[in-house]
Amino acid sequence: MAIVLKKGGSFNLSKKEPSLKKIMIGLGWEKKAGNQMDLDASVFLLSTNGKLVSEEYFVFYNNLKSPDGSIQHTGDNRTGAGDEDDEMILANLPLINAAVAEIRIVVSIHDAATRRHHFGLLSEAYIRIIDVEGNREVLRYDLDAEFNGNTDVEFGKLQRVDGDWNFVASGIGSSNGLQGYVDMYA
């Protein structure tokens, strides 16, 4: 049975799941009736200074793989149609560059300002971590419906602390857009 986290909760993947090596980070949401929205998952691999290790360590729909091959975005789902995960990120934890101290997972709404889209038009948003080799859900964080007016949300982050990987359910909304995150972490 998967661990269910609340906002701000954390889970030490390395200690509680020591055999965990390859994970899938699944991100999902449901659109309220009549809303056609394109949401984009992005991953920022940050060093201890809170900045990208290098430009190539920003993984998103136009850069699907980190240079070390440890993180791979499976591609942009432009409609959000279908059950389960709308966008997926694959991670091979042992292969992650030693310079990476934190991995931030952000979802932003494409062209939100022009289309007047925001997270209040969605429901049932979540992030989950799947053990790829065991094909089982390890943990899940269901985001509350508190992001009305926000055009982007940091769903969660993986932090490397003393060699251990910890997942933190952050749930931080903003309206800075994807470029705002790029500017913050570049």
Domain layout of the chain by residue ranges = 3-185
Strand partners, 92: 22
Average of pLDDT values for 31-58?
90
Strand partners, 149: none
The CA distance from 40 to 178, in Å, is 9
Q: Into which CATH architecture does domain 3-185 fall?
A: Sandwich (2.60)
Give the pLDDT score at 86.
86
Asked whether the predicted pLDDT for residue 82 surpasses 70, the reply is: no
Instruction: Give the pLDDT band (50/70/90) at residue 124.
Output: confident
> For all residues of the chain together, what is the average pLDDT?
90
Q: Phi and psi at residue 98, in whole multiples of 5°?
A: -60, -20
Asked whether the predicted pLDDT for residue 168 surpasses 90, the reply is: yes
Q: Which two structure tokens, joined as six digits, stand for 81?
A: 């149609």
